Amino acid sequence: WAAFSDDIEAILTLKRERNAVILAHNYQTPEIFHCIADIVGDSLALARKAMTVEAKVIVLAGVHFMAETAKLLNPDKIVLIPDLGAGCSLADSITAQDVRLMRQRYPGVPIVTYVNTSAEVKAESDICCTSGNAKAVVESLGVRRVIMLPDEYLAQNIAAQTDVEIIAWKGHCEVHERFTPADIRELRESHPGATVLAHPECPPDVVAEADFSGSTAAMSDYVERHKPPRVVLMTECSMSDNVALAHPDVEFIRPCNLCPHMKRITLGNIRMALEQNRHVVTIEPGIAGRARLAVERMLAI
């Protein structure tokens, strides 16, 4: 921690001076997650908490769609993303025009859009979901068939838990698509008794081999509740680092994949974001109104 202390001290001072709070996703590195963040969690928790922030400035230590969601839900705040290149392969897999074409192709079928998308894509959707509430959102619509965009694997994993027919898109998370069922089988052999938790962005055959699947918050809660002696989190690497710090008695086995987008956020660029008020997240008013509606419908469930 000593290597980080200069930036940490500066950021804590800047937060007070600028009346700012830092929202950090579970995939942020421990020095961000544990030392400077005010609010941490999965995408759903960050969206909910962003709504109630009273400070003037929100720094989103996460990826761009999370910063946009915070801006949608609390539009009077200055929302900063420390690196504009912090994107997401799922958000990049679909455009607003693609959503309009899906609506033309399947008239009358509601469109559920994962929050890992741009505000433009959300604006074309009926309702959003996260990995933490996707099944509840799909079932809340009371219809036989829904379109679920853009994560093919999340759609397939939810389809396995519900009678609602799900029409999927072909987007994938570049981090979770790399896990395979063979990885899990090898792990179980080399680390007998390990409990395997997989994020629902993993392919369905990976989820089928795991002991539990859930959002990053659900994985963290699982470890808290069950305290397995050995655990594997099939997800982004910092997740294990952050949860392990709170559970010294649990052995974390770590075949993990880094998210290059999440890793663009550092103490250095968070400090600069606060010093130089950058990069301010803006959303065109014509898009923001409709995108907000889709996110608010989700939060109302």
Output the CA torsion sign for 195, 201, 206, 208: positive
Integer Rg of the chain from CA: 19
Q: Which stretch binds ligand SF4 (CB under 6 A): 71-79, 82-90, 217-225, 247-255?
A: 82-90
Query: Taking CB under 6 A as the rule, does residue 261 contact ligand SF4?
Result: yes
What is the phi-psi region of residue 163: left when phi exceeds 0, alpha when psi lies from -120 to 50, beta otherwise?
alpha
- Whether the link from the prior residue into 25 is cis, omega within 30° of 0, is no
Report 203-242 residues binding ligand SF4 (CB under 6 A): 236
Q: Which of the stretches 75-83, 124-132, 141-149, 285-293 binds ligand 13P when contact is defined by CB under 6 A?
A: 124-132
174 binds, among ligand SF4, ligand 13P, none (CB under 5 to 8 A by kind): ligand SF4
**Cβ distance 217 to 41 under 8 Å?**
yes
Angle at the Cα of 231 (from 230 to 236), degrees rounded to 5?
A: 150
Q: Determine which residue in the list 45, 60, 90, 217 makes contact with ligand SF4, applying CB under 6 A.
A: 90
Distance (Å, whole) CA 1 – CA 4: 5
Residue listed under structure tokens 């680092």: 241
- How many residues in the shown chain lie near ligand 13P by CB under 6 A? 13
User: Does 175 sit near ligand SF4 (CB under 6 A)?
Assistant: yes
- Which window, 32-40, 88-96, 99-107, 269-277, contacts ligand SF4 (CB under 6 A)? 88-96
Residues 6+ positions from 223 with CB-CB distance below 8 Å: 197, 231, 243, 247, 250
Q: Please identify, using beta-carbon distances, which residue of 88 and 291 lies nearer to ligand SF4.
A: 88
Q: Which is nearer to ligand SF4, 200 or 228 (CB)?
A: 200
115, 47 in Cβ contact below 8 A?
yes
**E strand spans, the chain:** 20-25, 39-41, 57-61, 78-80, 111-114, 127-129, 145-149, 165-168, 195-198, 212-213, 230-234, 251-253
CB nearer to ligand SF4: give 90 or 128. Answer: 90
Binder among 98, 126, 174, 296 for ligand SF4 (CB under 6 A): 174
Residue 74, interface with ligand 13P (CB under 6 A)?
no
Strand pairing of 251-253 and 57-61?
unpaired
In the complex, least distance from residue 115 CB atom to ligand 13P, rounded to whole angstroms? 7
Kindly tell me which residue out of 42, 83, 120, 152 binds ligand 13P, with binding defined by CB under 6 A: 42
Among 29, 74, 118, 130, binds ligand 13P (CB under 6 A): 130
Binding site for ligand 13P (CB under 6 A): 26, 42-44, 116, 130-132, 173, 199, 201, 215-216
Give me the residues that bind ligand SF4 (CB under 6 A), please.
Answer: 63, 88-90, 116, 173-175, 201, 236, 259, 261-262
